[in-house]
Structure 1
Amino acid sequence: MRVEVGGLSIAYERAGAGPAVLLAHGFVGDGPATWGAQVEALSDEFTVIAWDAPGAGRSDDPPDGFGMDDYADALAAVLAAQGIGRAHLVGLSFGAALALAVTHRHHRAVRSLALVSGYAGWVGSLGPEEADRRLARSLQASTLAPDDLVAALAPSLFSPSAGGERVDAFLVSVRETRPSGFRAMARASHPDQNHVLPRIDVPTLLLYADHDVRAPVAVGEALHHAIPGSELVVLTGPGHASPVETPDDVTRELRRFLRTAEHRSR
């Protein structure tokens, strides 16, 4: 499925019926490769939408200077174009920072937040020096050949024991990363979003993984202290891309949280 938003053609998958859940992927991969297991499983009781952010998957590349606020406005417009007034937002990594930006700019569109291996922007969660280093490494990685990009990123996306068809399919999507979109999402990941955290007043799940070297559990603990009433859950085993590596564990925690959040919002 596709929708025209701000001059961009945005692709997404939609399945199921019930309360709306928007799934936002990280700065590599795309919606189906990241969230395929959750779309399939959660669509039995929710309307599940997995978008391809501008610059990823089947969506158009964004224009120069496209920042996190622009991504947030685009996501909100995708929801509005489908007649969805409010949605539960679930974001992985860059997608989690995006969910924070949507909450800040389009508060009425957000029913709850589930931040999976997320940051309050790289500056906000890692500090300015590490954020600058990560951005520089990402921009350099964007110049690599596809196989070299996969080789460079895969060790930081999964635990050493990761494997299977879903991991393989996700790495195919990483291989298909478009440099301009990757750079845009990396740059959008950089700014500090800590100012958003104390103002969050919707149910919030923080889902982290004990083998994550990109967004360690300490990042989740800091967000937990800053977001009023938030819940922190740490998964045992997976690395950064837990929805791909341990889909059943992620789906279980999301389903539990979404049911509770939906009940609280009625």
Structure 2
Amino acid sequence: MVVEDQYIPTQLGTVRVRLSGSGDPILMWPSLLMDHSLWDAQVDHLSTRFTTIALDPPGHGQSSRLASTFTFDECATCIVQILDALGFERTHVLGNSWGAMVGATFAARHPERVGCSILMNGTASPAPTRQKVEYAALVTIIRMMGGIRPPLTRSVVGAFLGPTSRKTRPATGPLIVDVARRQDAASLVKAVRSVVPLRPDQRDLLATIRTPTLIIAGREDVTFPPAEVQRMAAVIPNSEFVLIEDAAHLVALEVPDRVNMLIDDFIQKHERTGQDT
């Protein structure tokens, strides 16, 4: 499999994208603290039929540092700029958490440029007071420690993985910690503030989506519990909702085979019916 990295200028800085395969594109935007490697299993599976575009989101991985906080509309514009730079008119979108919110914004703002959206472990709601307080404390700790450091790493694993993955998928915890520890502290602070305390109420915007959308939740997710993810699905007309019982906040990493099957089935169904053309 041929893998190519490109560094694409966007309004939120230079974004590193990892390209694999050929065919229609699928763009993949991960969660906070994660980089393109969250999608490794999906890239391996999908790049035999698609061009996979797995990115390090702004301020993460090998993308440039963030200069300021951002909006989800600015993130959606980044997708447009990436597609333009690569010469693609439209793309399917995979998004997890932050990526799910960005993917939904992209589908609402740029319907002519999206095929299917598969959005995992996201929300359409603003952050409640409790979450704002918790993440304000997280930002303070990241600043003090200069990044994600022990014992904060235990909190990250607890936020991302449930009891099933911690018990039966022991490799997932160290992988998450390794990626999180490599992120730039100043950029993390700006990204966390943008995605949590500054997060807008998107329910009215998401109600305008008319393109095929699959929403996936993990039963064991404590960051965005299933009921919250289901509320996101409820405001998107004709969206489909799937609950995975034995996974938490990073379902694409925790149960990749099941997620890959859901992606395949959803895209193939809409290709057959012509709803994404």
With the length of structure 1 as denominator, give the TM-score of the two structures.
0.91
2:201 is equivalent to residue 185 of structure 1: no
Q: Which residue of 1 is the match for residue 267 of structure 2?
A: 258
Q: Is 1:10 aligned to residue 15 of structure 2?
A: yes
2: CA distance between counterparts of 1:27 and 1:174?
Answer: 9
Partner of 2:136: 136
Stretches of structure 2 that go unaligned for 5 or more consecutive residues are none
Higher mean C-alpha deviation, range 77-86 or range 6-15: 6-15
1:146 corresponds to which residue?
149
Equivalent-residue separation in structure 1 for 2:122 and 2:101 (angstroms): 6
8 Å Cα contact 2:94-2:118 kept in structure 1: yes
- Does the aligned pair in 2 maintain the 1:67–1:187 contact within 8 Å? no
Q: Residue 66 and residue 152 in structure 1: after superposition, are their counterparts in 2 closer, same or farther (change >3 A)?
A: same
Equivalent residue for 1:168, pick from 159, 174, 177: 174
How far the C-alpha of 1:213 sits from its partner, in A, is 0.8
Contact 1:90 1:115 in 2 (8 A): yes
In structure 2, relative to structure 1, the CA distance for the partners of 1:257 and 1:87 (3 Å cut) is same
> Is 1:51 matched up with 2:55?
yes
Q: Which residue type is aligned with residue 72 of structure 1?
A: A
Deviations 1:192-248 (A, max 9, x none): 211212101000101011111111110122122211101000112011111111111
Native 8 Å contact 1:149 1:175 kept in 2: no
Aligned 1:68-217 pairs, distance under 5 A: 68-121=72-125, 123=126, 126=127, 128-143=128-143, 144=145, 145-162=148-165, 163-189=169-195, 190-217=199-226
Deviates more, 1:138-147 or 1:96-105: 138-147
Q: Percent identity?
A: 26
Tell me by how many angstroms 1:134 deviates: 4.3
Shift of 1:3: 1.8
Unpaired runs of 5+ in structure 1? none
Deviation at 1:186, TM superposition (A): 1.8
User: Is the deviation greater in 224-233 or in 182-191?
Assistant: 182-191
Paired with 1:174 and 1:97, the residues of 2 have a C-alpha distance of 20
Counterparts of 1:239 and 1:136, CA distance in 2: 23
Could you tell me which amino acid in structure 1 is paired with residue 45 of structure 2? A
Query: Deviations 1:112-169 (Å, cap 9, x if unpaired)?
Result: 2111001115x1xx5x423422441442342335233322211110112323445432
User: Structure 1 residues 165, 65: closer, same or farther in 2, change over 3 A?
Assistant: closer
Root-mean-square deviation (CA, aligned residues, Å) is 1.9
1:224 and 2:241 are equivalent in the alignment: no
Query: Shift in Å at residue 104 of structure 1?
Result: 3.2
**AA of the residue aligned to 1:47:** T
Structure 1 window deviating more from structure 2 (207-216 vs 180-189): it is 180-189
* Matches of 1:237 and 1:262, distance apart in 2: 29
Q: Which amino acid in structure 1 is aligned with residue 100 of structure 2?
A: A
- Greater than 4 Å deviation, 4+ residue runs: none
> TM-score, normalised to structure 2's length?
0.87
Alignment of 1:9-48 (within 5 A): 9-32=14-37, 34-48=38-52
Q: Is the 8 A contact 1:67 1:184 kept in 2?
A: no
1:213 is paired with a residue of what secondary structure?
Answer: coil
Cα distance in 1 for partners of 2:48, 2:170 equals: 24
